[in-house]
Homo-oligomer: A and B are copies of this chain.
């Protein structure tokens, strides 16, 4: 038995998220269907670095699975891509030690969040960036507010209420804004993220950028540990899981 690690990209638009749910089209379901077919009907379980919600994209999600097939590693990528739907692509496959675990071995993750502030949204970006209806935020204020988030904190304020995780202390290594034409990208790296954490941070910093909240209010939000003090959860289709580090 060998353990294989794969880096995958998917367009989240037409998926009910990553994780298998009865009756729904999910990324995990499509991966397991193809792998089980390759294994002559034997069920192959896929484990990801974490789930992503419906409409959330990935350019660097990582999964692992175990296989007893003897086909060469480099044939796996092509074999999977031939059979997978075109909204999931396998970017890389490598053999890893059997104690590697896509979720438990994670050291860090990087996410990207994209807003488009064109006066009229491009129809080609409608599923891939959040339309601000022409509103341009004050990026300097957003970057100033980000300074309160960087570091090690109890991030209860940025965690969706319906979670079972107990320890909500995480470390955000970096949180930067980049302008790409008429799009604003927020790039955030950390050792781990709570449920909806990136989208709640995006929604809260957006309120700072549009003058609805002061930058230094973030200090109070974090120390409150109260989800109610933070801003709205930003829409899912602006979010990309970009990289997972081990």
A contact set with B: CB distance below 8 Å: 9-11, 57, 77, 81, 86-91, 120-124, 126, 128
Inter-chain contact A124/B120, CB cutoff 8 Å: no
Cβ A123 vs Cβ B81 within 8 A: no
A120 CB contacts on chain B under 8 angstroms: 77, 81, 89-91
Q: How far is the CB of A181 from chain B (nearest CB, A)?
A: 13
Tell me how many chains of this kind the complex includes.
2
Q: List 9 A-B contacts (CB under 8 A).
A: A9-B122, A9-B124, A86-B121, A87-B123, A87-B126, A88-B123, A89-B120, A90-B120, A124-B128
A123's closest neighbor in chain B, by CB? B11
Instruction: State the 6 A-B residue pairs at the shortest beta-carbon distance, nearest first.
Output: A11-B123, A86-B126, A87-B123, A89-B123, A89-B120, A11-B124
Within 8 Å by CB of A57, from B57, B88, B124, lies B124
- B90:A123 contact, CB within 8 angstroms: no
User: Distance (Å) between the CB of A115 and the closest chain B CB?
Assistant: 16
Q: Considering the chains assembled together, what is the distance between the CA atoms of A87 and B87 in angstroms?
A: 19
A124 neighbours in B (Cβ, 8 Å): 9, 11, 57, 128
Besides the contacts A9-B122, A89-B120, A89-B121, what 14 more A-B pairs have beta carbons closer than 8 Å?
A9-B123, A9-B124, A10-B123, A11-B123, A11-B124, A57-B124, A77-B120, A81-B120, A87-B126, A88-B123, A89-B122, A89-B123, A91-B120, A124-B128
For the complex, give the distance between the alpha carbons of A22 and B230 in Å: 51
When distances are taken between beta carbons in the complex, the residues of chain B under 8 Å from A89 are: 120-123
Residues of B contacting A86 in the complex (Cβ-Cβ under 8 angstroms): 121, 123, 126
